[in-house]
Structure 1
Amino acid sequence: MSAAKTSSTVPEQPDLSPAHALPASELLDRHQSSAEGLSQAEATKRFKQHGANALPEPPQPGMVQRFFKHFHDTLIYILLAAAAITALLGHWLDTWVILAVVLINATIGFVQEGKAEKALAGIRKMLSLHATVKRDGNWQQLDADQLVVGDIVRLRSGDKVPADMRLLDTNNLRIEESALTGESVPTEKHTQAVATDAGVGDRFCMAFSGTLVAAGRGTAVVTATGANTEIGRINAMLSSVQAIATPLTRQMAQFSKWLSVVIVALALLMLLIGHLLHDFATGELFLAAIGFAVAAIPEGLPAILTITLALGVQKMAQRNAITRRLNAVETLGSITVICSDKTGTLTRNEMTASQVVTQAGNYQVSGLGYQPEGAFALDGEAVTALKQPSLAALIEVVAVANDSQLIQQDEHWGVQGEPTEGALLCLAEKAGFERESYQRLAVIPFESENKFMASLEQHPDGSQHILLKGAPDRLLERCDQQLNTDGESEPLDSGYWQQQLESLSSQGLRVLAAARKPANHSELGMDNLTGMQFIGLIGIIDPPRPEAIEAIARCHQAGIRVKMITGDHAGTAEAIGKAMALAGDGELVVVTGAEIEAASEEALQELAIRGNVFARTSPEHKLRLVKALQASGEVVAMTGDGVNDAPALKRADVGIAMGIKGTEATKEAADIVLADDNFSTIAKAVEEGRTIYDNLRKAILFILPTNGAQGLVMLVAVLFGLTLPLTPVQILWVNMVVAVTLALALAFEPAEPGVMKRPPRDPKAAILSGMFLWRISLVSLMIGGVSILMFLWAMAAEVDLSTARTLAVNTLVMAQAFYLINSRYLAECSLKFSLLFANKMAWLAMGVLLVLQLAFVYLPFMQQLFGTSALPLSYWLLPIGLGLAIMLIIELEKKWLWR
């Protein structure tokens, strides 16, 4: 009695088992639904309560926010402060010039981002989803976003699954889930509950939003909509993943901070010395300090970085890589590890019959995908397939007992129907077999419970045969005979076939079998499928892309490791890993999702470094692996096409999505989208990235001596109480004219020799090495020194101040023009004839610079704007001679030090 009383007072606990672990009837009760569906009134109530069946839109920054983020730079802040001070001092020309420079930089970055977004939009393919739903006992078509939990939905071949749902009834239902699980073969579905801890790929009684019905039909009850679906869960994970700064971003931010500290400290020192030692007027002193700050700040550098990256974006677009974020171009050049999805990325996602085993032996079949071109070989010798009795018999079975069609669109071959059946049809086409003259009399369609398909066919000669294809174990138990080499029947040798089956399976192949027997009846039932004659086995694989194999070899040569992360089974993944030589000359190490799940963060770092292939992984596993590699100091690129890849793509240093077969979530998370879905494009992009980084370093090595020389001129003038050799607007002229002409030419430099034969650069290494700092200091001293000397010489010759300053500016510009020739090659001699004219843009830029400088000196409005004077022709000879001398000195420095 006491027990009864206790049970009546304790509330019944709700069943929290997931949908895939419950019988269908219990699930219908949980959601207060039935096989007749919901009433329209109840569906409307649930829709108002839970909202539309749609994923939340990712927040997009507005145009204003996108524009002003380009001002977020320490050096830009100093320029803005300088503009404010000049405005307070009444030097409005200086103010407007400084602000114009800042606005130009921001505008360039803003425009280039917009172009990248438009390029991506051109390859996006949006899908409009509908669903067949039972409401008030009647089937009707609704927009998929109107679905609610408890709705009864009908699925047919070719449908896009509109929500997560528990299957109530299935008929030969197979669903393509590669976008969610990474498996290349459609998953066979049934209605029985599975284990509570079953992974997404093993929940055979569920259909998931965004996947595609490959064959069959079924009905199901909706268990989750919108953000609560598996895709929604991944989307939420994606939004919580923090994108990390690129190596260049980190290096430039650190460089900007240090440079800012040095500039501000020296400017304050100038104010102090000018006030205490030389008694400069306050306005003049502030103007000198601002002139020094403007001189020392490389305000042209952000523009050059942006333009160089933008040119890289255009070059990569020509190589089928659409770049969504500018910095990703440079980051590609520093990656140390590429983590790649398998299906559709390293492989073609097109099933191919590569091996056929009969009593005659193991036939190798060439050709890839569904394109019906290839040949047959036995023991390395080419054979005519239809002249081999057992091989011809097998091809007849798999081609005739087949419901699919090969189709050709433009130059691409595909399959209408099952991918596996498409591979078998392609096999028959390669052999030259024609199935049109056969007449089907009866058929037993493929069922998940039976795992085979049988058809009763009338041969062109009038004879009848039962043709059977399917799972080898199911066919062997129905056979007592086999077809021998001569095409005769003999007793079945089960041991031989089991041995061959294990051999094919160990290679990661999906194995099907073929059998037949004569018939003399017009009906076909299960009791007719006994006493069959076993013919042989077919090994089917989603083949590696040949160009991907070559690209992986190139990556290894460049010191980049390639790791495959897939949702597929370990055996299949291992076979693909070996075929693609992922481990190079080493031993292939396969890690499973279960091992990742059980590993601590420290252990996972070791697994991530040691492993080459990671199989049966979930989206969480992929994300953890990327984080583990980054924690070990690796710069990681992640490629993929499925929704399950999106969180890892966003977290990676460079996320790379497939443009043709990739999902919208993947493209949205990626930095780069491959328009051709080709892994080899990544290797080309890495080469482009390395070249771009080299060119960025050349630009920095070229631009900073300009600022160093100008800063030195202003600093020396204040320290020694001299008249300022340069005004702030003249300094800005030099900075911008040199940046937009000479420095920009460096963005067009071709790749250095052996760029893909050197290891990746250390992402922790400073962008300015010790040798760089030496070169910058040396050139700054030489250019600054000769500019001061020219100014002092002109003043000693008693020319007017504007002429002396014009001569000083010319000296700076001419010296930089000659130094450009040095900067084109970091260690190589730039005066070699083969290298001297390799970049025509450099000579064009020098010509444009000369025209601009002539305008600066001789045009009246430029003289008024910048305070310059016309120079006699003889005054051009000294700056040119000094520039030539500096160029020769740097070439000698290369020979003695850089080598």
Structure 2
Amino acid sequence: MPDAAFPRMTSVPETAHWHAIPHEEVAGRLGVTSAGLTPEEAQARLATHGPNALPEPPGRPPLVRFLAQFNNALITFLLAGAAAALALGHVVDAGVIVAVVLVNALVGFIQEGKAEQALRAIRNMIAPHANVVRASRRRSVHARDLVPGDLVLLEAGDRVPADTRLIRARGMLVDEALLTGESVAAAKNEAPAPVEAALGDRHSMAFSGTTVAAGQGAGIVVSTGTHTQIGRIGRLIADVEPLATPLLRQVDAFARRFTWVALAGAAALFAFAVAVRGYGWSEALIAVVALAVGVVPEGLPAVITITLAVGVRRMARQHAVIRQLPAVETLGATSVICSDKTGTLTRNEMTARRLVLAKAGLAEIAVSGIGYDPQGALGWQPPGEDARGDPAEAAALLLRCGLLCNDAHLHAENGVWRAEGDPMEGALVALALKAGLSPEAERGAFTRLDEIPFDAAYRFMASLHRDPQGEAVVFVKGAPEDVLKLSGAPGGGVWEAAIARAAAAGERVLGFAMKRLAVAPQRLSFDDMREGFDFLGLVGFIDPPRPEAVAAIAECRSAGIGVKMITGDHAATAGAIARQLGLAENPVVVTGAEVDAVSDEVLVDMAASTSVFARTSPENKLRIVRALQSTGAVVAMTGDGVNDAPSLRQADVGIAMGRKGTEAAKQAAEVVLLDDNFASIVAAVKEGRTVYDNIRKMIAWTLPTNGGEVLAVIGAILLGLTMPMSPAQILWINLILSATLGLALAFEPTEPGIMERPPRPARAGLLTPFMLWRVVLVSVLFTLVSFGMFFQSLWRGQEVEMARTLVVNTLVVMEIFYLFNVRFLHMSSITWRGALGTPAVLLALVAVVAGQFAFTYLPLMQAIFDTRPVALVDGVMIIAIGVALMAVLEGEKMLLRRLGIFTASQM
């Protein structure tokens, strides 16, 4: 950096290409010398540019946020139901409904503000202090006080405080996973990077929020606050509008239609009762209130909430923590999963997979085993070439070089092997163990005297050792092209072809060489690295796919769920992993640069046909998710870094990694995976489908009860007949059934073949054609049976109170048998499994039976509900009616399946 003074600047030139400009020119543009800014100039720039911090997210006042929870048609309708119950004097029922409304409002109030939490988590990632040079003196300043032009000093372990153009980098590696998703730390140097370089390839930049993993350096601050890469991501999160989940959209649409139909029907019925049937005002009002009480499914929100809560508990057993209840059901509607690669689809453990030996005529050795576990073996490739001898012996020099020119260590924790140090160096230690070498013995026998740390400027590491005979030997490992230059290895394009083959297989490749010295130097210098090296060969590394992820992707394909890999890794590596995972027969790979080059309209088709997106930016991920959603897809997005937060927020369900995920990603997501495993996502999708199935069963079971009651009330008024049930008895039916049998459906297990069905359409209504048919059919059957029981009782000369008691008991028994029918919507219920039920069903059955005996025979209940005791013969007849209903509905189910009247998406 030049020492001459540059004109002081009060504004930073607007450019997006600091990485491509020589650092001397950057210093000139920002008006800074090697002495750094003066305190006065720093203060002036702070006043101009503002603090190096992200802004507080805007928020609504708490009262406004709370009241907004009531701006919902279903909530309004529930409150109307509470008013109706209160008008009948049923204070307890009204209180329960109001309590449900308040609980829902409180949950929404607490859950709201997810974007603010994500922004707050990102702000916390900015380093609190930074070491700078100002007025030729090293100072520690608060990160908020950094300004463009500040000269920042960076060391291993430091968190980068602002976007910085490096002017010096010595062995500098920066962990940029939170921005790029790369599992390997990025090597840095001060040379300009190409203008078109992706974020992960800008080797001349250190970005705010990333961590210096090794080495040291210095740089000029070029962007602060919201102008940094991490600040830009914060702006993206703030701009994302949260989407309602499919279930909430369906419930809201259902509630709006339901409300208007119910209100119109009640008004028309009231007018008809007064004008045509000559009812008095109070009598007509009581009839309409009975209709309102019958039509309002007051237990629906509570049972839906409980069903979702049961799903949350079940998903926790699958290592998926749900942060928002509706996300349980959204997972079940997922039609596309956009997944990160590293650690989710792969193990996030580098593994040496291939050795190419120089002395054996470029013979290849395959390495078995996965991750850092030293279980595995070396074998010639192709196998059966025993004439070459023991592969471990043939590769001994290469293995020793990889083990000694290495600072990593392996250790086992509870049977799980972990690497301390660079992942690729850890893989080399595991490789040596597989070949029978002892790291402790080898490092003890070959004493290290000195080393040259890895640096991006020369792209290799060298170590000087004294061997057991007392001779000096230098081992080198690094980028194959650079190690080949050191050794002058012959062979024309042979080695280049071997490197290209490994890269095409998605492998990262290191080259290895060694040289013996007559005399060990006091210090290992670059003069010792000029010539005389023997090239030993290559090692190819890969982050292997998780075996369970391969099976999970196959299950997704059978379930009609698309899987797309969106990663910051290189295209060749991502494509090779995609083929091993079975994402597609011939996975299409598209880079972030290609995404940038197309319009939103073109991207829709590209997103649908592409299996792998590589070298992607946060904007790329956001656009890809939106493009998929524009086709009607329900998108689940996984991520772990700050760069993933906007797309996690945009997706229908965001899934953050619990182990390696940043706090910003977790706050932006609805689901957190405790094991960072793609298989857990698929298990959670299966549970989500089960939850939705159970909600549908509960609705298919609840609405006919209400429908039967409503049709009975309407029929009585239209025909001028005595109502077969009183309003209080209607409330009793709703209360006893929704609190027991309806709740039992929340605990139903997964139906067989659930992952063989296609995802349900995102825009499908809450009531499918099959469910509408079922509601109408069962409501009509309930109504006809109710009137039949009522009039046959009157025909036998029994009083109205006795007839009504029989009707109530008949409805309850029919609901019990109907419950066993509706437990299996996609298969027959007449099975041993169907007959046994579940513990929840059996407990609910006991509670209902006990409640009905009390309703029928307990004097207190008889006084409250005006009931009469039922004779044994009538009880047997009621049970027979329930059995007959079960037989009719099972026959209907079988007939519909055989005729194929309803498709899978209409069920």
The amino acid of 1:550's aligned partner reads A
Deviation at 1:870, TM superposition (A): 5.2
* Deviation of the 1:747 alpha carbon: 1.9
Q: Map 1:730-749 onto structure 2 (within 5 A).
A: 730-749=729-748
**Residue 498 of structure 2 is aligned with which of 479, 497, 500?**
500
Q: Kindly tell me: are residues 110 and 805 of structure 1, through their superposed partners in 2, closer, same or farther at Cα, counting changes over 3 Å? A: farther
Identify the residue that residue 6 of structure 1 maps to in structure 2: none
For residues 34-62 of structure 1, give each alpha carbon's deviation from its aligned partner in whole angstroms, at most 9, with x where no partner exists. 54455666656766776654434556778
User: Aligned with 2:406: secondary structure?
Assistant: coil
- Aligned-partner Cα distance in 2 for 1:186–1:39: 34
Residue 404 (1) aligns with residue 408 (2): yes
Contact 2:130–2:161 under 8 Å retained in 1: no
Aligned to 1:431: 435
Deviation at 1:343, TM superposition (A): 2.0
Q: Which residue of 1 aligns with 2:229?
A: 230
Which whole-Å CA distance do the structure 1 matches of 2:501 and 2:602 have between them? 34
Pair 160,344 (structure 1): closer, same or farther in 2 beyond 3 Å = farther
Which aligned pairs between 1:499-898 and structure 2 lie closer than 5 A?
499-523=497-521, 524-529=524-529, 530-583=531-584, 586-795=585-794, 802-859=801-858, 862-863=861-862, 866-868=865-867, 871=870, 876-898=875-897
Taking the aligned partners of 2:892 and 2:742, their CA distance within structure 1 comes to 21
Letter in 2 for 1:257: R
Distance 1:28 1:51, change over 3 A: same
Counterpart in 2 of 1:104? 100
Q: Which whole-Å deviations, capped at 9, do the CAs of 1:51-89 have from their partners, x for residues lacking one?
A: 6544345567787677666644424423423544676xx
CA distance in 1, matches of 2:11, 2:742: 72
Would the aligned equivalents of 1:629 and 1:636 in 2 still touch at CA under 8 Å?
A: yes
For 2:176 and 2:717, how far apart are their aligned partners in 1? 72
TM-score by length of 2: 0.89
Shift of 1:843: 1.8
| Counterpart check, 1:241 vs 2:240 | yes
In structure 2, what residue type is equivalent to 1:455? S
C-alpha displacement at 1:96, in angstroms? 5.7
Change (3 A) 1:802 1:143: farther
Query: Which residue does the alignment assign to 1:366?
Result: 368
One-letter code of the match for 2:103?
T
| Residues in 2 aligned to 1:862 and 1:32: alpha-carbon distance in whole angstroms | 89
* Structure 2: gaps of 5 or more residues: 1-8, 899-907
**Farther-moved stretch of structure 1 (103-112 vs 757-766):** 103-112
Q: 1:671 to 1:115 in 2, by over 3 A?
A: closer
Q: Secondary structure at the match of 1:344?
A: coil
Give 3-state SS (helix, strand or coil) of 1:625's partner. helix
Which of 418, 424, 441 does residue 420 from structure 1 map onto? 424
Q: Show the 5 A alignment for 1:256-295.
A: 256-295=255-294
Q: Secondary structure at the match of 2:751?
A: coil
Distance 2:158 2:848 in 1: 62
What is the alpha-carbon distance in structure 2 between the residues aligned to residue 668 and residue 375 of structure 1?
Answer: 43
Query: Shift in Å at residue 456 of structure 1?
Result: 1.8
The counterpart of 1:466, out of the listed 467, 474, 481, is 474
- In the alignment, is residue 200 of structure 1 matched against residue 199 of structure 2? yes
SS in 1 for 2:754: coil
Match of residue 484 from structure 1: none
Letter matched to residue 378 of structure 2 = F
2:903 matched residue in structure 1: none
Equivalent residue runs for 1:135-150 within 5 Å: 138-139=137-138, 144-145=143-144, 147-150=146-149
Give 1:853 deviation, angstroms.
Answer: 2.5
Say whether the 8 Å CA contact 2:471–2:519 is kept in structure 1.
no
The corresponding residue for 1:221 is 220
Q: Deviations over 1:511-550 (max 9, x none)?
A: 1111112212221332322021111001122222222122
Q: How many Å separate the matches in 2 of 1:400 and 1:116? A: 54
The one-letter code matched in structure 1 to 2:767 is L
Cα distance in 2 between the residues matched to 1:896 and 1:593: 52
Give, in whole Å, the separation in 2 of the partners of 1:679 and 1:12. 50
| Percentage of matched positions with identical amino acids | 44
Q: Deviations over 1:135-162 (max 9, x none)?
A: 6555455554554444433222232223
Pick the aligned partner of 1:445 from 446, 453, 464.
453
The residue that corresponds to 1:380 in the other structure is 383
Change in 2 beyond 3 A, CA 1:167/1:322? same
User: Cα distance, 1:183 vs. partner?
Assistant: 2.4
Distance in 1 (CA, whole Å) between partners of 2:348 and 2:35 is 39
SS at the partner of 1:424? helix
8 Å CA contact 1:149, 1:224 repeated in 2: yes
Range with greater deviation from structure 2 (246-255 or 509-518): 246-255
The one-letter code matched in structure 2 to 1:372 is P
- Partner deviation per Cα, 1:752-784 (whole Å, 9 max, x = no partner): 221112222233333333332222222112222
Distance across 1 between alignment mates of 2:682 and 2:182? 25
Tell me the distance in 2 between the aligned counterparts of 1:392 and 1:498: 23
The structural deviation recorded for 1:117 is: 12
CA contact (8 A) 1:112 1:310 kept: no
Equivalents in 1 of 2:449, 2:642: separation in Å? 43
* One-letter amino acid of the structure 2 residue matched with residue 528 of structure 1: D
Letter in 1 for 2:348: N
Q: Structure 2 vs 1, CA of residues 873 and 105 (structure 1 numbering), >3 Å: closer, same or farther? A: farther
Deviation at 1:721, TM superposition (A): 2.0
Normalized against structure 1, the TM-score is what?
0.90
The secondary structure found in structure 1 opposite 2:554 is helix
Distance 1:278 1:159, change over 3 A: same
- Give, as a single letter, the amino acid of the residue that structure 1 aligns with 2:443: E
Asked if structure 2 preserves the Cα contact closer than 8 Å seen for 1:741 and 1:849, the reply is yes
Contact 1:83/1:94 (8 A) holds in 2:
no
Q: Using the TM superposition, name which of 786-795 and 469-478 deviates more.
A: 786-795
Which 10-residue stretch deviates more, 624-633 or 510-519? Answer: 624-633
Q: Distance in 1 between matches of 2:144 and 2:875?
A: 74
In structure 2, how many angstroms separate the alpha carbons of the residues matched to 1:12 and 1:691? 61
Q: 166-175 or 130-139, which moves further after superposition? A: 130-139
Do the aligned partners of 1:67 and 1:106 also contact (CA within 8 Å) in 2?
Answer: no
**What secondary structure sits across from 2:395 in the alignment?**
helix
1:345 alignment partner, SS class? coil
Contact 1:588-1:613 at 8 Å conserved across structures? yes
**How far, CA to CA, are the matches of 1:64 and 1:856 in structure 2?**
43
Tell me, in whole angstroms, the C-alpha distance in 2 between the residues paired with 1:64 and 1:788.
50
SS at match of 1:478: helix
The AA in structure 2 aligned to 1:104 is V
Query: Partners in 1 of 2:765 and 2:288 — Cα distance?
Result: 29
Q: Say how many residue pairs are matched.
A: 870
Which amino acid counterpart does residue 436 of structure 1 have in structure 2? Answer: R
Moved more, 43-52 or 299-308: 43-52
Query: Cα deviation per residue 1:701-744 (whole Å; 9 max; x = unaligned)?
Result: 11111010010111112112233333334323322321221122
Give the Cα–Cα distance (whole angstroms) in 1 for the partners of residues 733 and 35 of structure 2.
79
CA distance in 2, matches of 1:515, 1:496: 17
What SS does the aligned partner of 1:333 have? helix
Stretch of structure 1 that moved more, 363-372 or 46-55: 46-55
Deviation at 1:635, TM superposition (A): 2.0
Amino acid at match of 1:635: V
CA distance in 1, matches of 2:352, 2:42: 48
Tell me how far apart the structure 1 counterparts of residues 826 and 566 of structure 2 sit (CA, whole Å).
Answer: 40
Change in CA separation of 1:357 and 1:196 when aligned onto 2, cut-off 3 Å: closer
Is the CA contact 1:32–1:150 (under 8 Å) kept in the aligned structure 2? yes
Following superposition, the deviation at residue 679 of structure 1 comes to 0.5
1:462 alignment partner, SS class: coil
Structure 2 Cα separation of the partners of residues 399 and 83 of structure 1:
75
**Cα distance between partner residues in 2 of 1:14 and 1:41:** 17
User: CA, structure 1 residues 808+47, in 2 after alignment: closer, same or farther (shift >3 Å)?
Assistant: farther
Shift of 1:674: 0.6
Measured in 1, the distance between the counterparts of 2:735 and 2:680 equals 36
C-alpha distance after superposition, 1:267-293 (max 9, x if no partner): 122112111221111122122112112
